[in-house]
Structure 1
Amino acid sequence: MKHRVLVLGAGYAGTYVAGNLARRLSPEDTEIHVVNAEPDFAERLRLHQVAAGQEIETQKLADIFAGTGIRLHPARVTAVDPERQVVAVTGADGATEIGYDTLLYALGSHGEDHGVPGVAEHAFDVAARPSALRLRERLDGLPRGGNVLVVGDGLTGIESATEIAESRPGLSVTLVARGELG
């Protein structure tokens, strides 16, 4: 019986690990499965550009994994049952379970509102392409002279603020940092 490796998430880490394992492990001994909610690879490092209005070409995960033997499952994880060693997923074909012997959890990070009033309704993140596109839509709806507040002085915050300011000079963009920049 083949050893079943299941990778949850196909961002930078999940895609790298799955590809690396496919190159190193024998397909006669190992099955590699990848579950990802979106069919495209999300270049998180460029999502601030998507939010600002640039069109960034996407790569299909099916194309990335073509010829590797990796089995891609475009679906959302709904439950993990470590006792039975199965993951429940829901995709276009409905709900199913995928068994595993080794589970790699690479679902990435997400924004957190920490219960701050108004954040859930009025704040956006650039953690995934759909959220970056929602931010773009919101920016498109702002009038000239509208205000944009970017919270966070990490690379994503700085790049988002500068990209938005450059692509939308009619908006007033403010970056809030914990301390001094630089």
Structure 2
Amino acid sequence: MQKLLIVGGGFAGVWAALVAARETIHQGRELQIQLVSKDPYLTMRPRLYEPDPEGLRAPLKPTLEPVGVDLLVASAERIDPIAKTVDVVTEEGARSLTYDRLILASGSHLAAPSVPGLAEHGWSIDDYEASVAFDRHLRALAAMPAAADRDSFVVLGAGFTGIELALELRRRIEIHSDAARARKASIFLVDREKVVGASLGDNPRPVIEAALAEADVELRLGASVTSVGKGRVSFGTGESIDTFSVISTVGLTASPLTGQLPLERDETGRLTTDPMLRVQGIDSVYAAGDVARAYVDDENLALMSCQHAIFMGQMAGFNAAHDILDLPLRPYRQPFYQTCLDLGRSGAVYTTGWEREVQKRGEEAKKLKRFINSELIYPPANDRAAILAAADIDAREDNRTAAAS
């Protein structure tokens, strides 16, 4: 039996597996589908700015097993596109997996800026382990006596994640201590750019700035961090802030597995794909999610985001399965672009299009954000019919458009 191997248990990899399984079943054909994941969970990475990160992951087996996808918990170490093998390490030891087609969906990680002391004394919310560690740090701070370094929090990066974290911090502090401490905390949002949310465009900026002002978040824009020590962060201006809590949210780079393929990569480590999401230069390998440099339309590239990873994974799964089964392929296109940024107690702001035109704000946008975070990004589980229905890419496109309206 021919085999589709998928490396990566994030949004792109999971949805690639589900759609490939659905297409195989729908066609009445046989295909072995195996997904390699470093752990048996799908982490809700877009939600890791929220409280209680330990609850922000879902087990993979109840989603994959009902449609016949084999889950292998392992770390992928080496890809050989000539031999069509992937070397992995499991709890039992090393082994080599073969494939007829490979979907690389191994995601991205935070490559923190090369600031002295940041790796040793800084925090992040980039993945499950880092987010849980930071939450435990907040809990430990609550047991310490009041002091400037205990009650100051410095968030590096005024992009999507940095803004959401800065605006959620007081609630997280309150959960671990009390409302009085949360109100008194000093929260700083730092970025080298001279404006907040530079990558989010001009249109939502007034809404974002108003939310930051309402939450009493102090901005340090056009600022560079020169060092992070135990209890202090220093800036190029000579200013320093006493703090035990420097949280980096900048510097995403693609999984190092992209370097296993003898191909050029972009500045973030992504592999260039053709419209079918095949890696250019290796027809047997597809890429999806944060490892893929793919165009969503004639002008814009997909971003390292859940929004693009999910649909890209679906199309990679569809095409890789159809490729093996000798069925027609479809080009990946995702022209509709939207953002929904959580603004803490100020609600949220929802935009559409690459110009980020504001469509909803405040509580109206917050309801949409809650729907996205608590329902839309979760795949079905323990229900074969529901899983197969969700993996119908034509139906999901209709649902995606309806949810945004």
Instruction: Answer yes or no: same fold by TM over 0.5.
Output: yes
Structure 1 CA distance for aligned equivalents of residues 140 and 185 of structure 2: 11
Q: What's 2:3 paired with?
A: 4
Larger radius of gyration between Structure 1 and Structure 2: 2
Structure 2 CA distance for aligned equivalents of residues 54 and 40 of structure 1: 13
| Contact in 1 for aligned 2:54/2:128 (Cα 8 Å) | no
Structure 1 CA distance for aligned equivalents of residues 160 and 114 of structure 2: 24
Matching of residues 37-76 of structure 1 within 5 Å: 37-49=38-50, 52-53=51-52, 55-56=54-55, 58-76=57-75
Structure 2 CA distance for aligned equivalents of residues 117 and 131 of structure 1: 19
Task: Give the C-alpha shift of residue 84 in structure 1.
Answer: 1.6
Q: What's 1:32 paired with?
A: 33
Cα deviation 1:136-176 (Å, max 9, x = unaligned): 12222334442221111222111111222222115422111
Matching of residues 95-174 of structure 1 within 5 Å: 95-142=94-141, 143=144, 144=146, 145=148, 146=150, 147-168=152-173, 169=182, 171-174=185-188
TM-score, normalised to structure 2's length? 0.42
Q: Which amino acid aligns with 1:109?
A: S
Q: What's 2:190 paired with?
A: 176
RMSD: 1.9
Q: Which amino acid aligns with 2:72?
A: H
Say which SS state the counterpart of residue 14 (structure 2) adopts. Answer: helix
Say which SS state the counterpart of residue 66 (structure 2) adopts. Answer: coil
Cα deviation 1:42-80 (Å, max 9, x = unaligned): 00111111xx44552532101111211111001111211
Structure 2 CA distance for aligned equivalents of residues 54 and 114 of structure 1: 24
| Contact in 1 for aligned 2:53/2:128 (Cα 8 Å) | no
Is the alpha carbon distance of 1:16 and 1:61 closer, same or farther for their aligned partners in structure 2, counting shifts above 3 Å? same
Cα deviation 1:95-138 (Å, max 9, x = unaligned): 21111111111111111134321121122222211111111122
Task: Give the C-alpha shift of residue 29 in structure 1.
Answer: 3.1
Contiguous gaps of at least 5 residues in structure 2:
174-181, 197-204, 206-405
| Contact in 2 for aligned 1:165/1:172 (Cα 8 Å) | no
Structure 1 CA distance for aligned equivalents of residues 185 and 82 of structure 2: 53
Select between 88-97 and 25-34 the one with higher mean Cα deviation: 25-34
Q: Which amino acid aligns with 2:7?
A: L
Structure 1 CA distance for aligned equivalents of residues 55 and 66 of structure 2: 25
Say which SS state the counterpart of residue 5 (structure 1) adopts. Answer: strand
Is the alpha carbon distance of 1:167 and 1:90 closer, same or farther for their aligned partners in structure 2, counting shifts above 3 Å? same
Task: Give the C-alpha shift of residue 34 in structure 1.
Answer: 0.5
Say which SS state the counterpart of residue 155 (structure 2) adopts. Answer: strand
Q: Which amino acid aligns with 2:67?
A: T
Select between 52-61 and 104-113 the one with higher mean Cα deviation: 52-61
| Contact in 1 for aligned 2:40/2:61 (Cα 8 Å) | yes
| Contact in 2 for aligned 1:35/1:72 (Cα 8 Å) | yes
| Contact in 2 for aligned 1:10/1:34 (Cα 8 Å) | yes
Contiguous gaps of at least 5 residues in structure 1:
none
TM-score, normalised to structure 1's length? 0.88
Q: Which amino acid aligns with 2:94?
A: A
